[in-house]
Structure 1
Amino acid sequence: MRQDILTGPERRRRWAIAEKRRIVDEAGAEGVSVAEVARRHDLTRQHIYQWRRELQAKGDLPTVATVFLPVEISSDDGRTERGGDADLVHGYQVEIVVRNGRSVRVASDVPDVIVQRMIRLAEAP
């Protein structure tokens, strides 16, 4: 069995934060394939995904904003009321199912800021 021992400078490329950010931004553009960007820069897709997570964790890359949508609240007797008035939902428990299938259950009187944080945590990998 033959083994080669490599000597000399390290073979890994080093990427500056600015370069990583530029490539992650390029891969995040609408209609762009992450695989295409990775090939263009001689990377794997995993590099780009890892860099995205690292940049988001450091706060160097904004995460996708949470958007609240109008809701309808149905009572047991079939009446439906539109959301938006805080008095309508007082005392209710709300269940929110996020993109990855996890759910968050909160009382209706929990402040929006706390609910947003809980949703971000539930959506985290």
Structure 2
Amino acid sequence: MSHSTLIMGPERRRRWSAEVKQAVLEAAFAPGAVVVEVAREYEISTSLIYKWRQEAIGMSAAPAFAPALLVEDGPPPQPCAEQGSIVVELAGGTRVSISAEAPASLVAATLRALR
């Protein structure tokens, strides 16, 4: 099934109100919805829908730092080579160590924060 649009006259850039953008996003990301079908219905590009979604959830904002809490309650834990661990050494001698027993979500969050 192909879809084509014939534009007669000079091309123009369309302007979308915030209400229309919200309606498109709600339709495109509703349970069971297919983004391509919603894009065809509104005669817009799928990439525009994804761009609006990024803007709506704030992904287009500048990267931010993750907050960190330093606790000095004794000596830092030493990684155990038998269990396996991830050790990231930062400039200035700072080390971040993650044990193999750490949950995957914690490992992913830590590595994202260090990126």
**TM-score when normalising by structure 2:** 0.46
Flag the structure with larger Rg.
2
Q: Which structure carries more strand by proportion?
A: 1
